[in-house]
A = this chain, B = another copy of it.
């Protein structure tokens, strides 16, 4: 199978259709890369671009997107509800098929270096590409946002990984990194008691002693008279969908409550589905290239 990497850069412009179209056009014009989505958010004044392709394709496209965003977006005039610090605010590379995380980290570092050196924009590496534990978490890096970074960037502990150690007034600064694909998975319970969903969320999530790569919280589904354990699975290879599902079923028994349904929200890599089906069917030696549709994307 051909290698496949997803790239999901976020841009600080969600209102001007011409800018959004210009960014989408960069992806459409790229070799070995396909645009899956360009979703503007008006209140956030922010657009999330989703593309996927070969390692070479996403690497080159990500840099060109950063360059185009630097031309078209002026951070000194940007307002929006979502925290942000740069024109291309954040750009993660995500292994999807036949790619090691280390390769995505290398790409993130090369793209980060080019953004720093060729565009003169300060760059921070995050998540799996982070240069220090304090820089793994995006929210920690972005704290203070664009406005606060004119001061923050001068502090030695927040010297950028690449590029100038002073803010770029027009483009701000950019966070580039590598992370696992996130699976948004929700499990619905046959009760309207939010306390039960909250308790199960606590049992299943890493924060309070549960599964290592699960974030979870209880949510009321008023229109269904049900509650939900809403989860983010941040590493589906190590904490698979089936494990979260079966653990919730097990915990729910204690409250005499049953699992009545579940949902996967948004995009999911085939591998995240296959590794759960392998568990339930006790599948041996299944190869992703046995999936007919997967053969078409080579």
A232 lies within 8 A of chain B by Cβ: no
Chain B hits for A267, CB < 8 A: 290-292, 295
**How far, in angstroms, from A52 to B260 measured CA to CA in the complex?**
37
* Residue from A263, A280, A292 whose CB has the most chain B CB atoms within 10 Å: A292
Chain B hits for A292, CB < 8 A: 6, 36, 52, 96, 181, 267-270
B283 near A280: Cβ-Cβ < 8 Å? no
Interface of A is mostly: mixed
Partner of A260 from B266, B269, B276, B282 at Cβ < 8 Å: B282
Chain B hits for A262, CB < 8 A: 281-284
B285 near A263: Cβ-Cβ < 8 Å? yes
A291 near B270: Cβ-Cβ < 8 Å? yes
A286 near B263: Cβ-Cβ < 8 Å? yes
B276 near A36: Cβ-Cβ < 8 Å? no
Nearest B-chain residue to A36, judged by Cβ: B295
**How far, in angstroms, from A6 to B295 measured CA to CA in the complex?**
12
**How far, in angstroms, from A295 to B52 measured CA to CA in the complex?**
10
Chain B hits for A263, CB < 8 A: 283-286
Bits for A252-281, please: 1 = Cβ < 8 Å to B, else 0: 000000011111101111100110110011
Residues 165-205 of A at the B interface (beta carbon under 8 Å): 181, 188
**Size bracket, chain A contacts:** 35 or more
**How far, in angstroms, from A274 to B268 measured CA to CA in the complex?**
12
A68 lies within 8 A of chain B by Cβ: no
B283 near A96: Cβ-Cβ < 8 Å? no
A150 lies within 8 A of chain B by Cβ: no
A136 lies within 8 A of chain B by Cβ: no
Chain B hits for A297, CB < 8 A: 293, 296-297
